[in-house]
A and B are shown apart, each in its own frame.
Chain A
């Protein structure tokens, strides 16, 4: 494996399967009464969050703590960043503190990549702008594999705001590596112009794709990034691209519904669908801790390269 985890596209099939297999074993630790492992004792993991996040930050923190690493949480609010400190100076500060890994979330695409050139430790991308969110893709793949078995040949449909979604991009890359067939469904205004070059298919008709899918992954409508009118109204979006009870009924019997959270209930996903037995949304959160433990172990557990 590479020293950093910046893009899901950096993972070879072998790397990806190693992470998933490691997570499978680590999941058993979560069932024990003592959930802690001594593996990363004496290592320091810095959570560097320039953008708001609940589940990802907590998930990385829990993962690092279960592996006995020391965790330093840094959020832009209340730090010197609000006094105008640059990313580079922040990075050099962390470097001086001896961070073995930096988990970074940033609103600018490419920030983790830049950071990796400034620090000696491993950099883990926890979401950068509209670019990538590799650990989310890994936990999604892990959740699918636990429900459906191997992903080779499985049909995965990702629905919604692909344009602003780092989750979608990372998922397309990783699922393709794992041998699944990915279809993106979105209004044309919410697809990136370069989507032709992605290893996936594109459709504008959710109802046609639904019955053929093993997994339906709904993306959040990112109102905070909606700086133009991408669709006429939330109601119209919901009617064409939302997952409601009627659409759920059209899906194959063993197909599952996923959502990376946070959800807009009633917009991209109906509340009763989100709470149904077919939905893996709560599982995804639990699996997030496990997969992040696997990533931190594989990046930091061995010799430092």
Chain B
């Protein structure tokens, strides 16, 4: 990816990601009045890792232990037939479930909104939350559905042909959000 058309640019570095997550954690606490009745559900793979980190921060700031889990949306995607069958991610719900709690869905990048649509369907099959909110590290625009995030780490204006990739220490061994220039279609 060294040629100019595929240039890679780091948009967020490790410390920026940390600061963004810290701010989101504070916002969640503020908006949910102490985060007493929430469940953080990350969308695998990187959303699940981010959910764990947000849970740690909320525990640190507010002293409440927030249930954290993951919600795989593969079986609920609307584009399954466009690609070969994909491996499944892990769904791990907290022991007390999601009923009557405020669920905060956590994903790394918000783009078309189709992943979130699938997540709402998946959530419907595992319980009935009191409310659902959405936290994302990067909002890159180009929504194709009427969906918006409640908590955003960074709004990142992008061209549709570009790719946004999030790297996290736990999975990738480094911390960064990079923008990869794609070819114009």
For B167, the chain A residues whose CB sits under 8 A away are none
Q: A34-B126, A38-B75 are in contact. Are A302 and B84 (CB under 8 A)?
A: yes
For A22, the chain B residues whose CB sits under 8 A away are 87-88
Contact between chains at B126 and A303 (CB < 8 Å): no
Pick the residue among B86, B87, B91 that contacts A28 (CB under 8 A): B91
B90 at the interface (CB under 8 A from A): yes
Contact between chains at A25 and B121 (CB < 8 Å): no
A39 at the interface (CB under 8 A from B): yes
For B81, the chain A residues whose CB sits under 8 A away are 302-304
Q: A25-B91, A34-B126 are in contact. Are A302 and B75 (CB under 8 A)?
A: no
For B76, the chain A residues whose CB sits under 8 A away are 37-39
Contact between chains at B86 and A32 (CB < 8 Å): no
B1 at the interface (CB under 8 A from A): no
Pick the residue among B82, B91, B121 that contacts A303 (CB under 8 A): B82
Give the interface size class of chain A.
20 to 34
Determine how close the nearest CB of chain A comes to the CB of B36; give it in whole angstroms.
25
Contact between chains at A37 and B83 (CB < 8 Å): no
Contact between chains at B121 and A38 (CB < 8 Å): yes
| A247-305 contacts to B (CB < 8 Å) | 297-305
Contact between chains at B126 and A302 (CB < 8 Å): no
Identity of the chain B residue whose Cβ is nearest the Cβ of A35 in the assembled complex: B125
B85 at the interface (CB under 8 A from A): yes
| B119-175 contacts to A (CB < 8 Å) | 121, 125-126
Contact between chains at B85 and A34 (CB < 8 Å): no
Determine how close the nearest CB of chain A comes to the CB of B81; give it in whole angstroms.
5
Identity of the chain A residue whose Cβ is nearest the Cβ of B80 in the assembled complex: A301
Contact between chains at A25 and B125 (CB < 8 Å): no
Contact between chains at B85 and A297 (CB < 8 Å): yes
Determine how close the nearest CB of chain B comes to the CB of A3; give it in whole angstroms.
11
Determine how close the nearest CB of chain B comes to the CB of A167; give it in whole angstroms.
26
For A38, the chain B residues whose CB sits under 8 A away are 75-76, 121
Contact between chains at B90 and A25 (CB < 8 Å): yes
For B75, the chain A residues whose CB sits under 8 A away are 37-39, 67, 297, 301
Q: Give the complex CA separation of A84 and B85 in angstroms.
A: 38
B107 at the interface (CB under 8 A from A): no
B residues near A, CB below 8 A? 72, 75-76, 80-92, 121, 125-126
- Given contacts A28-B92, A302-B85, 9 further A-B pairs with CB under 8 A are A21-B88, A22-B87, A29-B91, A34-B125, A34-B126, A38-B75, A297-B75, A300-B85, A302-B81
Q: 29 A–B contact pairs at CB < 8 A?
A: A18-B87, A21-B88, A22-B88, A25-B72, A25-B88, A25-B89, A26-B88, A28-B91, A32-B126, A34-B125, A34-B126, A36-B125, A38-B75, A38-B76, A39-B75, A297-B75, A297-B85, A299-B85, A300-B85, A301-B75, A301-B86, A302-B81, A302-B83, A302-B86, A303-B81, A303-B82, A303-B83, A303-B84, A304-B81
